[in-house]
């Protein structure tokens, strides 16, 4: 049986300063949003910022409860964009996060590895991308490392999406009507 390989593509920088200015600003928004995380159980604090058309920005942070159900920062931000009527105009998403520092100041510069969206968030980003019809830029950063993906297929290959729920016989019916 022939084996097949797929490649994913992303950029990695040492410094956020190498990003375009709008994405650098979006990252700053994500860091600010992280301060509003409610994570008393995991102490893993995540912030996200979504940019829609015309520079509209929506923020999210993770929100936990004692049942250990988590509303992820990325989804909170995406839902805020959707609620505001920008569901089909989401263009970029930045996410930052890491364990809350032991020191009371929780210095984010101690976070060394960029946090990556969980599986459920990747699925949500996939659906937003299908809604927009354009690839969404996903940026994840620690203080000294940035990963930048153009398109969710680089994080979620062979994704299940809205098209999979369409009726298989739609084409047939359309054919009959011709
Ligand atoms: Zn998530």
What is the residue-wise DSSP string for 83-130?
HTT-GGGEEEEEEEEEEPPSSTT--GGG--S-----HHHHHHHHHHHH
Q: Are 34 and 108 a contacting pair, CB within 8 Å?
A: yes
Q: Which residue has the tokens 């990747």?
A: 122
The domain ranges of the chain are 11-177
**In this predicted model, what pLDDT tens digit does every residue of 54-106 receive, in sequence order?**
899 999 999 999 988 889 999 999 999 999 999 999 999 999 999 886 544 55
The reported pLDDT for the residue numbered 162 is: 86
CA–CA dist 134, 30 (Å, integer) = 22
Are the C-beta atoms of residues 42 and 50 closer than 8 Å to each other?
Answer: no
74 is known as an active-site residue: yes
Query: Which CATH superfamily, name and number, covers 11-177?
Result: Cytidine Deaminase, domain 2 (3.40.140.10)
Give 102-107's long-range contacts (Cβ < 8 A, gap of 24+). 106/45
Give 168's pLDDT tier (boundaries 50, 70, 90). confident
pTM for the model? 0.89
Give the distance (Å) from ligand 1 centre to CA of residue 111.
18
Instruction: Find the catalytic residue in 23, 43, 74, 173.
Output: 74
How many whole angstroms from 73 Cα to the centroid of ligand 1? 7
Output the CA 76–ligand 1 centroid distance in Å: 9
| Ligand 1: centre distance to CA 69 (Å) | 11
Evaluate if residue 107 carries a pLDDT over 80: no
């Amino acid at each position: 049986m022939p084996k097949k390989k797929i490649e994913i593509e992303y950029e990695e920088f040492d410094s956020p300063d190498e990003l375009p200015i709008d994405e650098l600003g979006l990252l700053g928004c994500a860091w600010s949003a992280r301060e509003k995380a409610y994570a008393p159980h995991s102490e893993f604090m995540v912030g996200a910022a979504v940019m829609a058309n015309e520079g509209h920005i929506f923020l999210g942070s993770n929100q936990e409860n004692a049942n250990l159900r988590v509303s992820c920062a990325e989804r909170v931000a995406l839902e805020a964009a959707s609620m505001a009527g920008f569901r089909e105009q989401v263009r970029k998403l930045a996410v930052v996060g890491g364990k809350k520092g032991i020191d009371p100041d929780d210095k984010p510069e101690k976070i060394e590895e960029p946090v990556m969206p969980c599986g459920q968030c990747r699925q949500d980003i996939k659906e937003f991308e299908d809604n927009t019809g354009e690839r969404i830029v996903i940026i994840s950063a620690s203080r000294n490392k940035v990963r930048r993906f153009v398109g969710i297929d680089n994080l979620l290959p062979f994704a299940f999406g809205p098209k999979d729920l369409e009726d298989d016989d739609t084409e047939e019916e359309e054919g009959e009507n011709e």
